[in-house]
A and B are shown apart, each in its own frame.
Chain A
Amino acid sequence: MNRSDPIYNTIALVILTIIFVLFWNFTTGTSDVEGRIASNEVVMDSLSIIYEHFYRMIPIFFTVVLFSLAITFFLEEWIPQQSWQYRIIERIIAILASIPSLVYGILGAYLLVIQSDRISYLTLIVTVVLLVVPVIIQSTQMAIQGVDIPVREAAYALGANRWRVIADHVLPNAFPVILGGIFIAISRVLAIAALIIVVYEWKITQLQSMISFGISKSVVILLSSALISSIFSSFLHKNSDYRTN
């Protein structure tokens, strides 16, 4: 076994994270009993909702991750990088990924939960897709572009076809970074789910009046500023030396 292989390091990291999460209560327990009881009333309810929907989210999440990996490999390996299709798709993904997750959360809560007055499976799917796909695509793109071009060429020169090159060389080399992107996406979904559920715990009508009054304006401002900044940054990215090949 090769100890320097990043895959083993990643697996070790995952196991450590799981252990840490399992012993979370043990490590963060406080002696302030009264304060805990007081705060737990709100937190426990929202946590139970998170857990309930987390189990629902697992199959959706797996499908979405596979879907976005497929999109990325198609984008990076099949579409020529100088073509206008590639540039447009890449720009759209950059813009979607740079929008704060709070915007997606509030839009999801407002348009899909409050308007239809229930949390449906479709709500989860749409919100998770919007939150997860651009982030995973961006990190996977970085990972694939990070694989040495000579390694690919050596494999092609031996007579490997495109599928073999991807399966034997690109994916194993890019795997740790791809996994990191998936974890970032998970944390993004969980963070915004917690926030939205805490908000949802309040009276829906209150939220509705808030949204119709002030938040819609702030959402528009947020969205437009995110758009402008991401378009600006994508032009900067285009002019930088980052992508030479």
Chain B
Amino acid sequence: MMQPKINSPTLHINDLNVWYGKNQILKDLTFDVLAKQVTAFIGPSNSGKTTLVRCFNRLNDLTTNFKHTGKILFKGNDLYSTKMNATKIAKQIGMVFQKPIPFRKSIYENVAYSARLHGINHSVELNETVEDSLRKAQLWEEVCNDLQSTPDILSNGQQQRLCIARALAGNPEVLIFDEPCEQLDAAETPKLEAIVQSLKSQYTLIFVTNKRRQAARVSDVAGFLYCGELVEFGQTEQIFTNPQDKRTEDYVTGRLG
């Protein structure tokens, strides 16, 4: 296990409350996400994990009757201030969803799409970006011969890795994985975890999962969310070996959730 590095927080969340209509989803969350680390959020379903990470790239804005109080600072800037542009935030904070969502374009165009959104239009540069991101997502060897065919030919796990490559082509600073292994089989899950480990040196990663052991394998820092409360937040080793809260202990040992 790594020692905690001394670096400034990429995301600073202060007193965050979130409501959908009258339901309060998140209650008084305060924590820091440090750069170049894997921060995992664990917890049973309906505990607000997805809602939390969707606040970071402002996808919750699309949901009607979403409202929040508190602050989310991204490198010192309030994400929800009127000066910030949701599109620019989404370019800096990428996301991989639970279900692989390839666009109905060729494999090459899927990855090139997000590179084009970032102003890369020259074909040589575009080819380099596509190859680089597909290599980072460990998919290049498998698809380099049929870049022009549609993602239908790929397996579920390959499609998920394509989505990772697509998110990486936009060169984000933070990459959010929202339960990425939920629909993958046992053979694909270790590959995805290996990708997460290899990306750790370059990106700040946030990993949401409801598999306890996966969080223990993948993350440096972990937070346990239960019914909208952040019960415990700290080093993964400590959360899994020496939890301070009774509920965390119950969840980690399998008595809860």
Nearest A residue to B102 via CB reads A154
Complex CA–CA separation, A2 to B59 (angstroms):
31
State the Cβ distance, A40 to closest chain B Cβ, in Å: 49
Within 8 A of B (CB), among A164-182: 164, 168-169, 172-173
Contact with B along A74-98 (1 / 0, CB 8 A): 0000001110000000000000000
For B90, list chain A residues within 8 Å (CB).
156-160
Nearest B residue to A6 via CB reads B104
CB pair B101 A154 closer than 8 Å:
yes
Verify if B126 is at the interface (C-beta below 8 Å from A).
Answer: no
Query: How many residues of B sit at the interface, in one of the four size bands?
Result: 20 to 34
Verify if B205 is at the interface (C-beta below 8 Å from A).
Answer: no
Nearest B residue to A149 via CB reads B62
State the Cβ distance, A170 to closest chain B Cβ, in Å: 12
Query: How many residues of A sit at the interface, in one of the four size bands?
Result: 20 to 34
Verify if B57 is at the interface (C-beta below 8 Å from A).
Answer: yes
Nearest B residue to A158 via CB reads B114
For A172, list chain B residues within 8 Å (CB).
104
Complex CA–CA separation, A119 to B65 (angstroms):
51
Verify if B64 is at the interface (C-beta below 8 Å from A).
Answer: yes
Nearest A residue to B176 via CB reads A157
Nearest A residue to B88 via CB reads A159
CB pair B87 A82 closer than 8 Å:
no
Complex CA–CA separation, A97 to B182 (angstroms):
44
Complex CA–CA separation, A173 to B101 (angstroms):
14
CB pair A159 B97 closer than 8 Å:
no
Q: A82-B65, A150-B97 are in contact. Are A158 and B104 (CB under 8 A)?
A: no
Verify if B43 is at the interface (C-beta below 8 Å from A).
Answer: no
CB pair A153 B62 closer than 8 Å:
yes
Complex CA–CA separation, A150 to B88 (angstroms):
20
Q: Add 5 more A-B contacts to A168-B103, A172-B104 (CB < 8 A).
A: A2-B150, A82-B64, A153-B59, A154-B103, A169-B103
Chain B interface (Cβ < 8 Å from any Cβ of A): 57, 59, 62, 64-65, 86-88, 90-91, 94-95, 97, 99, 101, 103-104, 113-114, 117-118, 150, 152, 163, 166-167, 170
Chain A interface (Cβ < 8 Å from any Cβ of B): 2, 4-5, 80-82, 148, 150-161, 164, 168-169, 172-173
